[in-house]
Structure 1
Amino acid sequence: MSPPRIGSRAPARPTELREPPRPARNEVKPQAKAQVTRPGMSGVSQFESPPTRQQPVALNAPAALARGPSVAPGSYPTAADVRNIAAMQDPVARNHAITQGYSDLSNAMGQLLGTENANWSTFATWASKQAGVSIRGEDMPKFFTDALKGADGVMGPMSKVDDLLRKLGLPSLPLADIASAGNQALQNVSKAIADGNKLVFEEVGQEFARFVETFQGDTQYDAAKVEQYLSGFPADKPLLKESFGHYAQAMFEKDPNKKAELMLLANDKVGLHEQTQLQPYVEKALNSPVKDTFRDILKQTVEAQINALPFPANLAGKAALKTGLVDAALNPVVDGVANVFRRVATEHMMKLAVPGSALKLGNDLPPPPGMESTLFPPHLRSVENPELRALLGQLDKSQDSLKGSGAKDWSKLDQRMNYIVDLFRSRQSDPALFDPPFGQRGTYPVAPSAPRVS
């Protein structure tokens, strides 16, 4: 079968029309409030005040200054709200708040930049929601126990351990103890994921909030203002600084092709920054010292059984412990159990549920519905931005294709980024990504307003 054909790039709209030109698809309309709506949702924001009757303007009154789109206070988390959410101690409740916060920041950005293109926070919403499954440990214990029962690499060595235990006058090794060890290992994995979830939101979430606060209401690109805004980024976070510079450019870009490319460039750079920050957490989650966990718990079980025997029946057991006979019997069980745990944990973790589909991160990305032959949205079917082309050349192992996008080893940064850049490019125009993850928008406390400084 021949590879899918990359469709032609969507042409920019003609500039000369017989009728007065309408704004380009991505153009911000001055004095018009942007409204994010999704199918099945009311077009009226719960944060908007009822419209007031327009007052007549005297003929000699000065014209009102044009004002760009703004975001309702309390409809998205401020930088202070982000810090408060990150400080929550309950990892499950914190993850829920982080996921909601990402969604509300995504929609706030959408009101400024438009919703024709997803921003990084849009994708982060669904990644955070998926992380919540691992943080809560949903279904994992049952999957693990079921996998153990059918694993030859576990049941065979366990029968040999049981033979030894019988000779020592002890009962068979209970499967429940292995499941308990798996539970402990799962808690270690969940903690690593929860810590990474918190780290990224606390850092990147504040920057999205700062962007909204800085640029809402603006009607044109102000290079001096952008430069001053970017000076607020730490010197050791150049990718993050560059990313939000691209978002600022995209906010006022009229050409839909150029705008889509600026959005993708910004999204990819934020993605590379946060995945680099997450590297130790991903490695800790996927390469958790499960062998040590299983060995400690299983050996403690055997020792407790031996110590419970009366003298002199316990002498043989203590000798078996001292000579390493018990360790030698348990080691193959530990190896087999650890392998099963890693396989099940990886399969369980390496999923991403997005509206309309569940993606397996180890498999190649399927084309978005309706793009089976073109793979990418119209404004991203070819890439002309030289900086974006260079970045994709660095991160995308199969450019202009989804073949080979699957990440077989999610602990490897290059494999994660190879998948992520294709995910961002192929799904950037999917409006369903702006859907609320829990069915509703969040609300946040509104601080007393201060005079706006121009």
Structure 2
Amino acid sequence: MVDGITPERVREIVAMADRPVLRNLLITRGYHRLTLAMAQVLDQGDFTWPIFATWASKQAGQFIREEELGAGMTTLLAARMPAVLDSVTLRAPIRRALTQIARHVITGNTLVFEELGVAFATFAGTFAEPAARTEERLADVVALFSEGPSLADVVTMADDGTLERRSQGGQTMIREALAYYFMALHERSAAARAELVLLANGLCGLHEQTRLQPYIGGALAAPLAGLAGDEGTIGAALATVMRRAATELMMTMALPGQVLRLGSDLPAPPGQPLWPEALARLEHPRLLQLTEELGAYAARERGLGLVDRLEDWLRPGEPEVQGSGADDWSRLGDRMRYIFEYFRSRQRDASLLVSPFSPAQEQDLLAGRVPTGPL
């Protein structure tokens, strides 16, 4: 096991409710360590869901660290409503809105790690040794997760602004994903193995995005709830601008060497084809079923509108996944269409294996300190 990322360590990190900034950084680091642990287990160059969670969690940190969120929001507001930045009466409601955005992101970031961090830590620890890769051990791992459909939490806001949530549904998609990762351990065909990993990654992504629905929606609605009703016409306009600004920030993904704009069609990895060779053509029946459900495969291969087809014709040297850009990040279907194609295109992108933190920042995190300087 890489660096002691065990289910127990996952639970310790989740329990750090009084230190949300440090917890997010440790979650991000934890996903990176789980990426390396899973890469050791699979040992075939197909990267599993934690590699994508690493960079999503790092992006979430910008919302959790309210100072950075506020700075980014200020820049966007200055370009659209500069007068509000000088308004003393609007400072408090703006701060409340930023806090509510952060609370939603904090809760979502933590609950996903609590579920899937445990799943990957258990899988990597159980199957680290080839001799342990038996159907009996798989059954033990799968049994840790409950049967039932993936459902969004029921979330309410207490009088003090804190979030109260009630989980519902089950974890059948996690159980299914773990079984496909296990099948990939024993698959000799590179193409078949890559499809199994992509299928498992897609199921993990759909489960966690379903669970995240009220937190993403709540974060984007926070400015409307906190400003539109209290500050009259100016407040309503400001709330709308803040929601747009939060959406722009949320729909940006900083990767090593590239920044993705999630509202635009997904570009190929720098210097690489759009799809890894092993995933250029998808054939696994369950995988094709999933892509149909998500609208991902259909969006790429058929049913494109005139605008997408013109873009494809006018920009032949810049391959993109036509029709993948999300129109509204608060809609699960829009998110998953983009996310699935992102998973498919980057499943063998080794540039994502780099640590999200510098060596000095790693040392601070190991010592239980929040690193200073840019994160």
Same fold (TM over 0.5): yes
Summarize the Cα distance change of 1:384–1:188 in structure 2 as closer, same or farther, 3 Å threshold.
same
1:282 aligns with 2:216: yes
Q: Which of the residues 163, 187, 202 maps onto 2:99?
A: 187
1:244 aligns with 2:178: yes
1:356 aligns with 2:272: no
Residue 321 of structure 1: aligned partner: none
Q: Look up the equivalent residue of 2:111 and give its one-letter code.
A: L
1:422 aligns with 2:341: yes
Deviations 1:289-336 (CA, angstroms, capped at 9, x unpaired): 53544654x5xxxxxxxxxxxxxxxxxxxxxxxxxxxxxxxx221111
Give the Cα–Cα distance (whole angstroms) in 2 for the partners of residues 143 and 95 of structure 1.
Answer: 19
1:407 aligns with 2:341: no
Give the Cα–Cα distance (whole angstroms) in 1 for the partners of residues 30 and 72 of structure 2.
Answer: 31
* TM-superposed deviation, 1:407: 1.0
Q: Look up the equivalent residue of 1:436 and give its one-letter code.
A: S
Give the Cα–Cα distance (whole angstroms) in 1 for the partners of residues 30 and 345 of structure 2.
Answer: 24
Give the Cα–Cα distance (whole angstroms) in 2 for the partners of residues 421 and 293 of structure 1.
Answer: 35
Give the Cα–Cα distance (whole angstroms) in 1 for the partners of residues 227 and 44 of structure 2.
Answer: 47
Summarize the Cα distance change of 1:402–1:198 in structure 2 as closer, same or farther, 3 Å threshold.
same
Residue 231 of structure 1: aligned partner: 143
Give the Cα–Cα distance (whole angstroms) in 2 for the partners of residues 148 and 431 of structure 1.
Answer: 37
Q: Look up the equivalent residue of 1:241 and give its one-letter code.
A: R
Summarize the Cα distance change of 1:370–1:149 in structure 2 as closer, same or farther, 3 Å threshold.
closer
C-alpha RMSD of matched pairs (Å):
2.4
Q: TM-score, normalised by structure 1?
A: 0.66
Residue pair 1:181, 1:294 contacting (<8 A) in 2 also: no
Summarize the Cα distance change of 1:83–1:384 in structure 2 as closer, same or farther, 3 Å threshold.
same
Summarize the Cα distance change of 1:257–1:135 in structure 2 as closer, same or farther, 3 Å threshold.
same
Q: Which of the residues 77, 83, 90 maps onto 2:5?
A: 77
Q: SS at 1:287's partner residue? A: helix
Residue 206 of structure 1: aligned partner: 118
Q: SS at 1:369's partner residue? A: coil
Give the Cα–Cα distance (whole angstroms) in 1 for the partners of residues 180 and 76 of structure 2.
Answer: 47
Give the Cα–Cα distance (whole angstroms) in 2 for the partners of residues 266 and 233 of structure 1.
Answer: 15
Residue 260 of structure 1: aligned partner: 194
Higher helix share: 2
1:335 aligns with 2:265: no
Q: Which of the residues 265, 275, 282 maps onto 1:383?
A: 282
The higher-RCO structure (CA 8 Å, 6+ apart) is: 1
Residue pair 2:266, 2:321 contacting (<8 A) in 1 also: yes
Give the Cα–Cα distance (whole angstroms) in 1 for the partners of residues 241 and 214 of structure 2.
Answer: 23
Correspondences of 1:157-176 after superposition (within 5 Å): 175-176=87-88
Summarize the Cα distance change of 1:381–1:280 in structure 2 as closer, same or farther, 3 Å threshold.
same
Summarize the Cα distance change of 1:434–1:292 in structure 2 as closer, same or farther, 3 Å threshold.
closer
% identical aligned pairs? 40
Q: Which of the residues 42, 47, 51 maps onto 1:118?
A: 47
Residue pair 1:102, 1:121 contacting (<8 A) in 2 also: yes
Correspondences of 1:275-354 after superposition (within 5 Å): 275-288=209-222, 290-293=224-227, 295-296=229-230, 298=231, 331-354=232-255
* TM-superposed deviation, 1:399: 3.3
Residue 127 of structure 2: aligned partner: 215
Residue pair 1:77, 1:444 contacting (<8 A) in 2 also: no
Deviations 1:113-146 (CA, angstroms, capped at 9, x unpaired): 0251110011101100110011113544344445
* TM-superposed deviation, 1:280: 0.8
Deviations 1:162-221 (CA, angstroms, capped at 9, x unpaired): xxxxxxxxxxx9513323322220111011001100000011101111112211112485
Residue pair 2:227, 2:238 contacting (<8 A) in 1 also: no
Structure 1: gaps (5+ residues):
1-70, 159-172, 299-330, 446-454
Q: Which of the residues 435, 443, 448 maps onto 2:354?
A: 435
Q: Look up the equivalent residue of 2:88 and give its one-letter code.
A: A
Q: SS at 2:254's partner residue? A: strand
Residue pair 1:115, 1:431 contacting (<8 A) in 2 also: no
Q: Look up the equivalent residue of 2:21 and give its one-letter code.
A: V
The higher radius of gyration belongs to: 1
Summarize the Cα distance change of 1:367–1:245 in structure 2 as closer, same or farther, 3 Å threshold.
same
* TM-superposed deviation, 1:252: 2.0
Q: Look up the equivalent residue of 2:205 and give its one-letter code.
A: G
Residue 393 of structure 1: aligned partner: 292
Correspondences of 1:40-79 after superposition (within 5 Å): 71=1, 75-79=3-7
Summarize the Cα distance change of 1:188–1:103 in structure 2 as closer, same or farther, 3 Å threshold.
same
Q: SS at 1:414's partner residue? A: helix
Summarize the Cα distance change of 1:430–1:338 in structure 2 as closer, same or farther, 3 Å threshold.
same
Residue pair 1:118, 1:433 contacting (<8 A) in 2 also: no
Q: Look up the equivalent residue of 1:402 and give its one-letter code.
A: V
Residue 22 of structure 2: aligned partner: 93
* TM-superposed deviation, 1:406: 1.0
Residue pair 2:227, 2:236 contacting (<8 A) in 1 also: no
Q: Look up the equivalent residue of 1:181 and give its one-letter code.
A: P
Structure 2: gaps (5+ residues):
148-169, 302-319, 368-375
Residue 45 of structure 1: aligned partner: none
Summarize the Cα distance change of 1:444–1:339 in structure 2 as closer, same or farther, 3 Å threshold.
closer
Summarize the Cα distance change of 1:120–1:143 in structure 2 as closer, same or farther, 3 Å threshold.
closer
* 115-124 or 91-100: bigger deviation: 115-124
Q: Look up the equivalent residue of 1:344 and give its one-letter code.
A: A
Residue 32 of structure 1: aligned partner: none
**Count of aligned positions:** 321
